[in-house]
Chain A
Amino acid sequence: MSFLEYAPAPESRAILTLRDEYGLFIDGEFVEGTGGSFQTISPATEERLATISVASDADVHRAVAAARRAYERVWSRMSGTDRGKYLFRIARIIQERARELAVAESLDNGKPIKESRDVDVPLVAAWFFYYAGWADKLDHAGLGPNPRALGVAGQVIPWNFPLMMLAWKIAPALAAGNTVVLKPAETTPLTALLFAEIVQQADLPAGVVNIVTGAGATGQALVAHPDVDKVAFTGSTAVGREIAKKVAGTDKRLTLELGGKAANIVFDDAPIDQAIEGIVNGIFFNQGHVCCAGSRLLVQENIHDEVVDRLKRRLQTLRVGDPLDKNTDIGAINSAEQLERIRTLSDIGEAEGAERWSPDCVLPENGFWFAPTIFTGVSTSNRIAREEIFGPVLSVLTFRTPAEAIAKANNTPYGLSAGIWTDKGSRILAVADKLRAGVVWANTFNRFDPSSPFGGYKESGYGREGGRHGLAAYLTTSQRAGARAAIEARAERAAPAKTVKAKSVKKGAAK
């Protein structure tokens, strides 16, 4: 046992009343799915939480049809002011039911209650509050005149931040005037279904939000559905690739938030106390189940030993255990499958010659657990330095010069995030310029805000969520539509004549 002994301080589950079974949420009502069912469990205890419907292709079709009807008859005709008011209502109900949602999230996902309570759920409310205000201001978004919704959005989200990813997807889509069909991850469907109840409480018109549960096949059916106008996906790069292939050649718009292997760069003049906290937060926040996790620590060679020693000391004070305990720092791994992946890659790390270290900690017997782990002596070619582990595993590498740090940081097909720790402002700015990553945290890490665009370079995907950029992903502008109409008209005029004459260049299109 560690030197810090506390009595257990569990958050009460009494605030949460789960149904025994949940159907799909289609056209404003819970309906039974026709694709069978599955159990959702608590990864901390393997206790069954509820039975969840699987949406078949036919169910997905029903959901898309409901979203289409709602789009055409109600949502696209509603004023932006009223759309915004509905979103404000949702934001407020989320705040009112915040504790209940936090408990549900920690139960279903395994993340510590202090994170679901203090990070996830507050950000969910903030996300709806932020985009609610955009709904009646689309003309002022600087996207060109007369921005319009795309139609029906098909959204597939991961299990690491179930409700937060839902908010990142649904809030901008609705604000822009789209209707949605969302598929939560199969291991974490609960908070999305609680959100469906919130949608009912807010009296949102039927069909504007539809939730279909299930596994990969349900997601594929949604993404491939011909009446979906926009696909938004957050998850692995492998699945993202497949979706991009499916969407190729169609009229669907696509945004992808995929994997990462972020470098967290610590220079020798960094504020070490803060840096240690930042490294811990960067990789052990949410059990490392974070696409933007700082999984590669690049530490300047001359402070390597000091940083690693202090890091180890700090890790010994982290509490691993019951996600509902308010003192817990690291909760359960989300699934047996994910645990297996983390174990496999960690074993490979050892086999490839890196030195493995974990603090002494007693892991619960039931459930899925993995002690926080540090690998030192990692080389850039090691698989633990190249592949996304998506767990509480940190690979430590060293560098001597800023140029070397930048080269190593960018030496990955991913490009989602990065961290820089130094007291020198000019160095932060210069290094941030050179990092090929969509989000760079300077002397901080893993910060999120609805006003702040988030998304990747390279194989971490494309498109941004958050801010005006996140709104643009759900709108088409007359600039684009107008240009397209102009092209089509021109093509028609040109086609009968069969000339190759150049047509006049219309610059007005590009305001």
Chain B
Amino acid sequence: MSRLAVPKTYKLYIGGKFPRSESGRSYEVLSATGGFLANAAKASRKDARDAVVAARAALSGWAGATAYNRGQVLYRIAELLEGRRAQFVDEIMSAEGVSQAAASRQVDEAIDLWVWYAGWADKYVQVTGGANPAAGPYFNLSVPEPTGVVAIVAPQGSSLLGFVSAVAPALVAGNTVVVVASERLPLSAISLSEVLATSDVPGGVVNILTGSPAEIAPWLASHSDVNALDLAGAGDLDWVDLEITAADTLKRVLRPEPGELVPPSVHRITAFTETKTVWHTKSLI
């Protein structure tokens, strides 16, 4: 006699908690072959705003953590993801209809990507900042700092790797993020939030919304407490309109990426940093 499975309720991830959408809405997520997989929460404008509040609240702690600490936390995500490979492989196979080998490869690459970005946390500052030889009795130093709250439209054509490729670099410098997951392939993102919740990532550092990017993204683009907008997965939306909306509050904007994942690059880290230059006087002795 076969055992009756216990399916998971897929919810949002906001401020380290797993709420349903405050709107009470959900939408059907189908497998590659058209079968029912789950009812995912369909996030509303209010959910997006709650997520921004949570991200803002988490910012000073995450940005203020030592680079060594942030690197270790990001590495810990890789560790826990490794331990749950099987779950993600199954999820990707059913959602994307790919072979086990392809699904495994996607999970492996996602894990390796966390490791790669984790290592950047205590290195990108030296690569991009430094001392400036100002002409005068000054000690003058430029350092990159996190931009703040980053709203991300995750790549839409990939369950896990696309999501990780956009989210991981934004976290390296100490930004906190609100991510709109792939509309069609949202389940791995929510499963990843369970990994994040147990990986020493402070609540609110990553907030994940499932639902319609076309509905949610404009609210994030216009939100005054969002500092930057990553349109990586917004290629099929009216992203120029989103960029114009973001200009009202002079957000930093990254444009859509044509691929299913954002290619790993230190540029993805520095795009969400601000250079601060501090001039210290030197006394005359």
Q: B-contacting residues of A (Cβ < 8 Å)?
A: 126, 142, 237, 240-241, 244-245, 248-249, 256, 258, 413, 415, 428, 432, 435, 437-444, 447, 449, 451-455, 457-459, 461-462, 464, 466-467, 469, 479-480, 483, 486-488, 490-491, 494, 499-507, 509-510
Contact = CB atoms under 8 A, between A and B. Distances in A.
Contacts of B142: 452-453, 467, 469
B138 interface: yes
A474 to B, nearest CB: 16
Given A483-B263, A487-B259, A510-B264, A501 B275 contact: no
Contacts of B249: 413, 459
A449 B281 contact: no
A437 B143 CA distance: 12
Given A438-B277, A462-B252, A502-B260, 20 more contacts: A142-B127, A241-B250, A248-B247, A258-B250, A435-B276, A439-B277, A440-B279, A447-B136, A451-B133, A452-B279, A453-B277, A457-B274, A461-B250, A467-B132, A500-B260, A502-B161, A504-B109, A509-B263, A510-B263, A510-B264
17 contacts: A244-B247, A437-B276, A438-B274, A440-B277, A452-B134, A452-B277, A461-B250, A462-B250, A483-B265, A487-B257, A494-B260, A500-B185, A501-B96, A502-B102, A502-B161, A505-B112, A506-B263
Contact of B275 (A142, A241, A469): A469
A177 B31 CA distance: 52
A488 B258 CA distance: 7
A494 B259 CA distance: 9
A245 B264 contact: no
Given A440-B279, A449-B140, A459-B250, A505 B274 contact: no
Interface in B229-285: 239-240, 243-244, 246-250, 252-253, 257-261, 263-267, 274-281
A486 B262 CA distance: 11
A459 B158 CA distance: 34
Contacts of B98: 499-501
Contacts, number: 160
A487 B258 contact: yes
Most buried by A among B113, B136, B264: B264
B106 interface: yes
Given A483-B265, A487-B263, A454 B277 contact: yes
Interface of B: 96, 98, 102, 105-106, 109, 112-113, 116, 127, 132-136, 138, 140, 142, 147, 157-158, 161-162, 165, 185, 227, 239-240, 243-244, 246-250, 252-253, 257-261, 263-267, 274-281
Contacts of A126: 135
Nearest to A493: B259
A469 B128 CA distance: 9
Contacts of A258: 250
A494 B235 CA distance: 15
Contact of A503 (B185, B248, B257, B261): B261
Contacts of B116: 507
A237 B250 contact: yes
User: Which of A249, A439, A458, A501 has the most CB atoms of chain B within a 10 A radius of its CB?
Assistant: A501
A231 to B, nearest CB: 13
Given A452-B134, A501-B98, A486 B277 contact: no
Contact of B132 (A442, A453, A501): A453
A488 B265 CA distance: 16
B30 to A, nearest CB: 13
A461 B252 CA distance: 9
B258 A491 contact: yes
Contacts of B248: 241, 245
Contacts of A245: 244, 247-248
Contact of A441 (B147, B185, B250, B279): B279
Contact of B134 (A447, A457, A464, A491): A447
A503 B277 contact: no
B123 to A, nearest CB: 12
A131 to B, nearest CB: 14
Contact of A502 (B109, B112, B133): B109
B275 A458 contact: no
A502 B276 contact: no
A263 B258 CA distance: 42
Contacts of B266: 510
A418 to B, nearest CB: 10
B158 A248 contact: no
A437 B276 CA distance: 7
A505 B261 contact: yes
A179 B162 CA distance: 38
A238 to B, nearest CB: 11
Contacts of A441: 278-279
B138, B142, B243, B249 — most chain A CB neighbours (10 Å): B142
A434 to B, nearest CB: 9
B220 to A, nearest CB: 16
A415 B265 CA distance: 27
Given A444-B138, A444-B279, A501-B96, A240 B250 contact: yes
A258 B247 CA distance: 13
A435 B102 CA distance: 47
Nearest to B97: A500
A507 B247 contact: no
A440 B275 contact: no
A237 B279 CA distance: 25
Contact of B244 (A248, A455, A459, A464): A248
Contacts of B109: 502, 504-505
A479 B165 CA distance: 17
Contact of A440 (B112, B239, B267, B278): B278
Given A451-B133, A487-B259, A510-B267, A502 B106 contact: yes
A501 B259 CA distance: 11
A505 B161 contact: yes
A455 B142 CA distance: 11
A391 B204 CA distance: 42
Contacts of B280: 428, 442-443
Leading 5 A-B pairs by shortest Cβ distance: A249-B240, A244-B247, A248-B243, A449-B134, A502-B106
A53 B132 CA distance: 40
Given A486-B263, A500-B158, A506-B264, A432 B278 contact: yes
A488 B132 CA distance: 38
Nearest to A461: B250
Contacts of B165: 505
Contact of B247 (A241, A432, A501): A241
Nearest to A244: B247
A503 B133 CA distance: 44
B135 A449 contact: yes
A501 to B, nearest CB: 5
B89 to A, nearest CB: 12
